[in-house]
Amino acid sequence: EGEDGLRSMRGRVDELCAQVKGSSAQIVDLLTPQADWRIDTTRRLQRLTRDTTNEVQAVMQLHDLYPTTIPLPTLGGWALQAKSMVRILQAVAVTKNDPLVVECGSGASTVWIGALLRERGGGKLISLEHDERFYDETRQMVVDHGLEQFVEVRLAPLRPLSLEGRDFEWYAIEALEDVEGINFVLVDGPPQATGKEARYPAMPVLLGKLARHAEIFVDDAERPDESAIIDRWLADFKLTLSVQPATRMAHILYDGGVRGSV
């Protein structure tokens, strides 16, 4: 009788263990999505905090480099990130000769680059702007900061442009007729809304105007359109992609020449 009771008790214990194991698995299944969500949210918050800290530090670095009594335009949002702007200015600053910079899309970056050129005492920025209102606003900022000697904002309406059987809306090419020997290109326009891979024409249009070892900066490089554009450029032209950690910008080096036809 004692052995029978013991066997019965063991059977009951085994049954309870099986029930507990099953319940535990159900609890894990219920809690795992919440735990994954918490982990994902924590990582996102950590990344946001890190990015915000980097941006604040970059803004402070910019204002230390270019102190002025007139507030310089805000970066971020539609404008370039401050850390991207720092990277561009660092590249331009170490150029031996007076650099020629061409910017596709004007705005806050126009004033920051102009401030650097004035600081180094030479160089020229040509900024293309398709929107007349933004053109007027940027020109006024250039005047307010006394940068007319170093910055020229050119109104270049978007015009139909056909490349390799594909149609684009890009800046009026005549705005670049007198431009040669470009050392730096900043691609931050036209807006994505103007069409698929809207910024692709920048390289084929400007190729013949680039100085050897020119540098090209592409904003919003993490977007699918810009990523596809960069891949096409790398396949067609003698370019080298330089990784830019902690920024949304691509840095491309031009070796001089073409791999394929455009």
Phi and psi (nearest 5°) for 222? -85, -10
Alpha carbons 106 and 98: distance in angstroms, whole number: 21
Highest mean pLDDT: which range of 35-44, 81-90, 216-225, 237-246: 216-225
What number is the average pLDDT over the span 12-19?
A: 60
| Inter-CA distances, 201 with 81, 87, 98, 141, 196, Å | 23, 24, 26, 28, 11
Length of the chain: 262
Calculate helix-pair angle for 2-65, 108-120, nearest 10 degrees.
50
Highest mean pLDDT: which range of 20-34, 44-58, 200-214: 200-214
Whether the per-residue pLDDT at 16 is higher than 70: the answer is no
Handedness of CA 153, 262, 243, 51 (dihedral sign): positive
What number is the average pLDDT over the span 107-127?
A: 93
Please write the tens of the pLDDT for every residue from 156-181: 999 999 998 899 999 999 999 999 99
3-state class (DSSP) for residue 82: helix
CATH 3.90.480.10 fits 72-258, yes or no: no
Contact 159, 170 (CB under 8 A): yes
- Per-residue burial over 96-123, b if 16 or more Cβ lie within 10 Å, else e, is eeebbbbbbbbbbbbbbbbbbbbeeeeb
What number is the average pLDDT over the span 143-162?
A: 96
| Inter-CA distances, 62 with 52, 66, 146, 147, Å | 15, 6, 18, 17
Q: Is the pTM of this model over 0.75?
A: no
* Between 83 and 230, the higher pLDDT residue: 230
Res 2: pLDDT = 47
Res 220: pLDDT = 84
Res 50: pLDDT = 47
Contact 190, 198 (CB under 8 A): yes
- For the ranges 22-26, 106-110, 147-151, 202-206, the lowest mean pLDDT is seen at 22-26
Please write the tens of the pLDDT for every residue from 205-258: 999 999 989 999 998 888 899 999 999 999 988 899 986 655 678 899 998 755
What number is the average pLDDT over the span 193-208?
A: 94
% residues pLDDT > 90 (the chain): 50
